[in-house]
Chains A and B, each alone.
Chain A
């Protein structure tokens, strides 16, 4: 299975600022997924990122708020823009590999 390195592991940010989360995969993958887990909630898909094309966003998520880059088959970033306290969540990237899906360790974001 693929191994994902996700950074940062946690951050505390001021409202109105932006944070960029990075995921590096140790193998080439076609699709990368970005999820959000709000406190006490399940994981919700934000968007699917394919290399060389624009990300596909789920209902309720927009590119202006969560811009995604996918410059190659092993790397992706998610930016949380113009943050508010409601953005305080755990953000996770994921790839499909080996019959399952592998997740990064997550980024715990607190917006104050």
Chain B
């Protein structure tokens, strides 16, 4: 049972344009969502997160949108840069409790983003 799904295995975008990566989840207990970037031979690098009490969180070029009713979140990267080319993972956790409790993460399958110069 895949509780977190990234249905697009890959995405190709021109430099300077917007990249939109999508993620769907099925578990209603998830209350904290994160996006990670991963290069080969490295561990995942935390990008941005959002708790279920919000519907948007922004950090520089990265914005995450959460639609709880649709159980859908998306990551927007604007403007996209060639250095953004990596695998992007969506992850979810239950019981985050406002940042005092860290539950296990459930990951999506990942989306390979390629940003062309």
Contacts and interface: CB of A to CB of B under 8 A. Distances in A.
A77 interface: no
Contacts of B49: 99-100
Contact of B46 (A31, A100, A108): A100
Given A42-B108, A101-B34, A96 B102 contact: yes
Contact of B41 (A31, A96, A108): A108
Contact of A106 (B34, B41, B108): B41
B89 interface: yes
Of the four ranges (under 10, 10 to 19, 20 to 34, 35 or more), the interface on chain B belongs to: 20 to 34
B10 to A, nearest CB: 12
A42 B105 contact: no
B102 A31 contact: yes
A33 B108 contact: no
Interface of A: 1, 4, 6, 9, 30-31, 33, 41-45, 48, 58, 92, 94-96, 99-106, 108
**Closest 4 CB pairs between A and B?**
A96-B102, A103-B43, A100-B46, A43-B107
